[in-house]
């Protein structure tokens, strides 16, 4: 007789179910890791493109400044040459005039002139004296010419196109998957050493598994699923609602010494219905430090996100 088939015991069923859930969790983590790597690589490529553009524009600006400096120097040299030539000509003409008319000749000629001619000559000398006083000084003329050249160069430089990073171009370098991001990571951004997690609750009941927050330096919350690291699908949430950013900041140790430590911070990105920490709304575009067991809410959503790490006491 063939032995009768027996159904597995409840314990065996629980073990199989637990194994299946672990396999599903591992596959999800692998998928999450793959998506995070893609996002990180695309962000790094966008940053590299922006840096290359900045370097090109800085090089063009330096070349323009060098050309302007050369033009100003050449203009000053030309003005100085003209001034020296004019001074030499005046000295030569003045010396020749003094040699041709000595004081004795001028007195002898003036004694033989008639009174009418003397009066006319005095009138001519007075007009010549006034005309000579009206002629501009050589040094003042050279200074005025130099200023005119500098003003012309400055006006030409203003008319030249500016290759600096404008607002629209800055937006283009901060795009991900065709969407302009409302947030840039600060220089002190770092990946955390602690394994932080967000536990999601709704009406006091836990939802799904906790969200891991230790694999990258920032996490974006919002309704736009193409760019959000953690989607918030409630209608009151903005497309780019808030961001959790890890920052390396100086902290005072228990022994009084200063040291650096990576801590989580949250920033509201100008959302319509605000972000709340422990039921208190926070101001937009400002970092707020997060502590263990803080509760975060977005907009009018009833979901609560509790921040804990792997060593948190239950």
Q: Inform me whether the pLDDT recorded for 242 exceeds 80.
A: yes
H, E, C per residue of the chain? CCCCCCCCCHHHHHHHHHHHHHHHHHHHHHHHHHHHHHHHHHHHHHHHHHHHHHHHHHHHHHHHHHHHHHHHHHHHHHHHHHHHHHHHHHHHHHHHHHHHCCHHHHHHHHHCCCHHHHHHHHHHHHHHHHHHHHCCCHHHHHHHHHHHHHHHHHHHHHHCCCCCCCHHHHHHCCEECCEECCCCCCCCECCCCCCEEEEEEECCEECCCCEECCCCCEEEEECCCCCCCEECCCCCCCCCCEEEEEEEEEEECCCCCEEEEEEEEEEECCCCCCEEECCEECCECCCEECCCCCEEEECCCCEEEEEEECCCCC
Question: What's the mean pLDDT in 97-124?
Answer: 49
Query: If pLDDT is split at 50, 70 and 90, which confidence band does 173 have?
Result: low
Work out the percent of the chain whose per-residue pLDDT is above 70. Answer: 75
Please give the model's pTM, rounded to 2 decimal places: 0.46
Query: If pLDDT is split at 50, 70 and 90, which confidence band does 274 have?
Result: very high
Q: Inform me whether the pLDDT recorded for 95 exceeds 70.
A: no
Q: Inform me whether the pLDDT recorded for 137 exceeds 50.
A: yes
* Domains of the chain with CATH codes: 185-309 (2.60.200.20)
Between 160 and 52, the higher pLDDT residue: 52
């Amino acid at each position: 007789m063939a032995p009768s088939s027996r159904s597995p015991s409840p314990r065996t069923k629980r073990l199989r179910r637990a194994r299946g859930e672990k396999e599903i969790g591992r596959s999800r983590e692998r998928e999450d890791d793959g998506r995070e790597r893609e996002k990180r690589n695309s962000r790094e490529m966008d940053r590299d493109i922006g840096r290359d553009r900045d370097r090109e524009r800085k090089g063009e600006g330096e070349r323009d400044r060098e050309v302007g400096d050369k033009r100003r120097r050449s203009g000053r040299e030309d003005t100085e040459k003209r001034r020296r030539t004019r001074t030499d000509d005046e000295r030569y003409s003045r010396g020749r005039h003094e040699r041709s008319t000595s004081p004795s000749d001028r007195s002898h000629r003036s004694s033989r002139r008639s009174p009418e001619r003397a009066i006319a000559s005095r009138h001519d000398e007075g007009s010549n004296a006034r005309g000579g006083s009206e002629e501009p000084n050589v040094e003042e003329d050279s200074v005025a010419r130099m200023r005119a050249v500098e003003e012309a160069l400055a006006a030409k430089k203003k008319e030249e196109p500016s290759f600096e990073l404008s607002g629209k171009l800055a937006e283009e370098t901060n795009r991900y998957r065709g969407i302009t991001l409302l947030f840039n990571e600060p220089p002190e951004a770092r990946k955390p050493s602690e394994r932080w997690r967000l536990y999601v609750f709704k009406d006091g009941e836990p939802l799904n598994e906790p969200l891991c927050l230790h694999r990258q330096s920032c996490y974006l919350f919002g309704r736009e699923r193409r760019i959000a690291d953690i989607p918030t699908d409630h209608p009151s949430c903005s497309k780019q609602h808030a961001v959790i950013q890890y920052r390396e900041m100086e902290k005072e140790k228990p022994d009084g010494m200063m040291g650096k430590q990576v801590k989580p911070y949250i920033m509201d990105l100008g959302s319509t219905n605000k972000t709340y920490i422990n039921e208190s709304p926070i101001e937009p575009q400002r970092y707020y430090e997060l502590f263990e067991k803080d509760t975060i809410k977005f907009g009018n959503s009833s979901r609560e996100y509790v921040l804990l790490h792997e060593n948190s006491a239950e």
